[in-house]
Amino acid sequence: MSPPRIASAPDLGAPTLVCGGLRGRDIAVPDRRPVVFMNAKPPATSGRGAGPERSSEDRDLFIRYHRDGDSQARDQLVERFLPLARQLARRYQRASEPLDDLLQVASLGLIKAIDRFDPDRDIAFSSYAVPTILGEIKRYFRDRTWAVRVPRDLQELTLRVDRAVGELSDELRRQPSVKEIGVAVGVDQEEILEALQAGGAYRAVSFDAPRAGGDEDVATIGESVGIQEDGFDRAEERATLQTLMSAVTPRERDVLRMRFEQDMTQAEIGDIIGVSQMQVSRIIRQAIARLRTAADAPAGADAG
């Protein structure tokens, strides 16, 4: 076959690619290369990083669905945000787990998020949907006695923090502050807060965890409460530590959960909430500063 050549095609109004055809005849083939319009909008495929215009369209769909009962609007929302569910399913897929099963679980979580989302809330739907979808995935794994992956370095740090909390509690005869835990473990307070979050919503240590040192008749931290002096103060401090998240804004709380519970990168979080990676980093720093202040505040002080 002879190489293509450009031939005149007045009827098509543009040059066409011409290939050598059967029996030496030329066959005119219209040029199928895409024409790029400078003002054309790229298709929205991921449901992430939506700009103001896209967010407005999403809100209109939610209003049509929730207030008017428009099932087509619901279908459109599912189609728009299904790529987000797929991404989360792939992120948490394990070698022995069929991807199709996880995709179904993630899709169920997406539908639940769409059904429960309040369009009047001042929050992007994707920020609401991610925890809901991951909640379904976590339940799926929990039903199979699996835990959702936590980075190994955070797992190891969490164990070190738990041991340090137990030892410091015995030594100080009170609940240690985040700063004191950081000094004992040898890492900064931000890393301590990461470990506490990864270990279970800023818990100091499980009451069922083995107690480090002390009376052999007291096997766990939980059993030591009431034996140690100032037991009520100890319980109050632990309750304060568990509610530190009230010190941050809802947006900061969402970002912290995506970063530390869901192990998402700052870039991925930025795509979801529609800001730059630098802004995500700033949000995390501000939130951790609030948490540090709340953690170091005297027992009974207002965390907010």
pLDDT score, position 11: 39
Residue whose entry in the numeric block shows the structure tokens 């429960």:
116
Amino acid in the structure at residue 281? S
Mean pLDDT in the chain? 68
pTM, to two decimals: 0.37
| Residues shown for the chain | 304
**pLDDT band with cut points at 50, 70 and 90 for residue 184:** very high
- CA distances to 105, 187, 201 from 261, rounded to whole Å, are 19, 20, 9
User: What is the distance between the alpha carbons of residues 242 and 246, in angstroms, rounded to a whole number?
Assistant: 9
pLDDT score, position 272: 87
pLDDT score, position 46: 42
Please enumerate in sequence order all residues whose Cβ is within 8 A of that of 238, keeping only pairs 6 or more positions apart, or say none: 175, 204
More confident residue, 26 or 130: 130
| Residue 39 zone, left/alpha/beta (φ > 0; ψ -120 to 50; rest) | alpha
Amino acid in the structure at residue 5? R
pLDDT at 126 over 80: yes
pLDDT score, position 295: 66
Burial of 18 by CB count in 10 Å (0-12 exposed, 13-18 middle, 19+ buried)?
A: middle
- The answer to which of 27-31, 81-85, 253-257 has the lowest mean pLDDT is 27-31
pLDDT at 238 over 80: no
Alpha-helical runs (H) found in the chain: 52-68, 71-91, 99-116, 125-143, 152-172, 178-185, 189-198, 221-224, 231-242, 250-256, 266-273, 277-296
pLDDT at 197 over 80: no
45: DSSP letter: -
pLDDT score, position 152: 65
pLDDT at 60 over 50: yes
- Topology, domain 52-143: Rna Polymerase Sigma Factor; Chain: A (1.10.1740)
Task: Say if CB 131 and CB 257 are below 8 A apart.
Answer: yes
Nearest to 97 by CA among 33, 141, 55, 159: 141
- Token readout for 148 is 């959702």
Give percent of the chain above pLDDT 70.
58
- The answer to which of 11-20, 29-38, 103-112, 219-228 has the lowest mean pLDDT is 29-38
- DSSP string for residues in 231-264: HHHHHHHHHHHHTGGGGS-HHHHHHHIIIIIS--
Domain boundaries in the chain? 1-33, 52-143, 153-296
pLDDT score, position 266: 84
pLDDT at 70 over 70: yes
pLDDT at 25 over 50: no
pLDDT score, position 76: 92
